[in-house]
Amino acid sequence: MGVEFFSLSPTAFQVLKSGESHPKKVMRIVYGQATSDVNGVATLYFTDDGLATGNPLLTAIDYAVASVYSTNANINARPRVQMREKNVAGKYVSANVTNITGVTVLGINVLGSENPVSGVLVDFMILGSF
């Protein structure tokens, strides 16, 4: 297995994949962070300049995952993240960030709803080919 590090934003490195029908296939792993907007959407552009107008680092996205970190003691106030989109052109991924609000009756949440949360830092990890 070969690993090649290169300096681009977001952080990325290449891995020589083995054990498949294409044993010399090179994959690229990209890590980056994005902050959720007022609609609760965090979008990471993994291009050569980190912008929507840049050249993509990947031609295809094979796998993507998003996560958030929270130490809030209130379980309902903790942000949750779920993948929203893997761009077909291999330029970006996005995720929805939400939390739950609702009415509490006798210590039990009822009539809860998911609401977008802004300003949450989301970590993305993407595996793809180029």
pLDDT tens for 80-92 read 999 999 888 878 9
For residues 5 and 20, the model is more confident at 20
Answering whether pTM is above 0.85, one says: no
The yes-or-no verdict on residue 101 having pLDDT over 60 is: yes
Give the chain's mean pLDDT: 80
CA dist 16 and 3 (Å) reads 7
Both structure tokens of 49: 């300049």
CA dist 125 and 9 (Å) reads 13
Q: 77: closest CA among 95, 96, 98?
A: 98
What pLDDT is stored for residue 43 in this prediction? 95
Q: Is 97 helix (H, G, I), strand (E, B) or coil?
A: strand
- For residues 31 and 123, is the Cβ–Cβ distance under 8 A? yes
Residue type, 126: I
For residues 120 and 106, the model is more confident at 120
What pLDDT is stored for residue 22 in this prediction? 56
The DSSP secondary structure of 14-74, one letter per residue, reads EEE--SSSSTT-EEEEEEEEEE--TTSEEEEE-BTTSSTTS-BS-SEEEEEEEEE----SS
What pLDDT is stored for residue 39 in this prediction? 96
CA dist 119 and 70 (Å) reads 12
What pLDDT is stored for residue 1 in this prediction? 45
Domain boundary assignment for the chain = 3-129
- CATH number among 3.40.50.980, 2.60.40.3940, 2.60.40.10, 2.60.120.10, domain 3-129: 2.60.40.3940
